[in-house]
Amino acid sequence: MKHEEKALTCLYAITGHDVPEKVISEMPGIAGEPLYPVRHKEIAAIAGTAKKNRFAFDKSAALAYGMILDTLCESFTVLPCRFGALLNDDGAVTEVLQKRYAFYERKLVELEGKKEFGLKIFSGAKDSAMCSIQCDKKPNDGKEYILQKFQQFKADNELKKGTERAIDVIRLELQEISSKFKESSQTDGQVAFSGNYLVEKKDADFFCSKVKVLQGQYSELKFLLTGPWPPYNFVF
């Protein structure tokens, strides 16, 4: 006898208790299921229930998940949940809310009215070094070769120091107009800086314009600004 596949509950976000059920129910989840709030005291989880085989956690589902959170973030303060978080039922969702109630309540207050921006800054050091190698004349002997290598090292080192000084200024100026800041330690190759800024919604346009001004001041660097996003990097 074939057993009917059990329905599971997908957790999307944590928000305030007063989130309107009618508004949420009009938004389809990643499996096409209607969303609904599971409330506990002053907070609520945005969830959707469907058969397990309807949840395909692939690239298109990840994009749909992101769009759902973006839409929620336009109207409510939300704490994004991990993509693909499945629980047995609404009772299990309530248990999560009970267990982490104090944390969620504090974070909702902390992140109210704020959005996240991501910034990466790329250095031109690699291109400069390649140009240096191509432009230098071919050495006549070992002594000239060592001298060229030393000059190249010195030039690249000065360029690196200049980039670091510029990054220090950029980092501090943007921190002054953000509520919180997290810098990624995973910078390699031409990525000289990677960080995330938590910004008040009312300051979002000013933050973006400030990045443009800094990009004009440091034209030797390339800036990649993304957002605004829900505060993915500031929940935990």
* Total residues belonging to the chain: 236
Reply yes or no on whether the pLDDT at 210 is more than 90. yes
In CATH, what number is assigned to the domain containing residue 23? 3.30.70
Q: Which domain holds residue 44?
A: 7-110
pLDDT digits (tens, 9 = 90+) for 12-61: 999 999 988 888 888 888 888 899 999 999 999 999 988 877 777 888 88
* Digit-coded pLDDT (tens) for 141-157: 555 556 555 556 555 55
Cα 173 to Cα 191: distance, rounded to the nearest angstrom:
19
| Residue that finishes a domain, picked among 110, 144, 172 | 110
For residue 34, the 8-state DSSP code is: B
Residue ranges of E strands in the chain: 7-16, 35-40, 43-51, 79-80, 86-87, 114-122, 180-183, 191-200, 222-229
Same domain, 137 and 227: yes
Q: Which candidate, 168, 191, 188, places its Cα nearest to that of 122?
A: 191
End-of-domain residue from the set 58, 92, 110: 110
Q: Last residue of a domain, which of 46, 78, 110?
A: 110
Report how far residue 112's alpha carbon sits from residue 106's, in angstroms, rounded to the nearest whole number. 10
Nearest CA-CA partner of 190 in 157, 228, 158, 221: 221
pTM of the model: 0.77
Same domain, 91 and 187: no
Q: Is residue 1 part of a domain?
A: no
Domains contained in the chain, number: 2
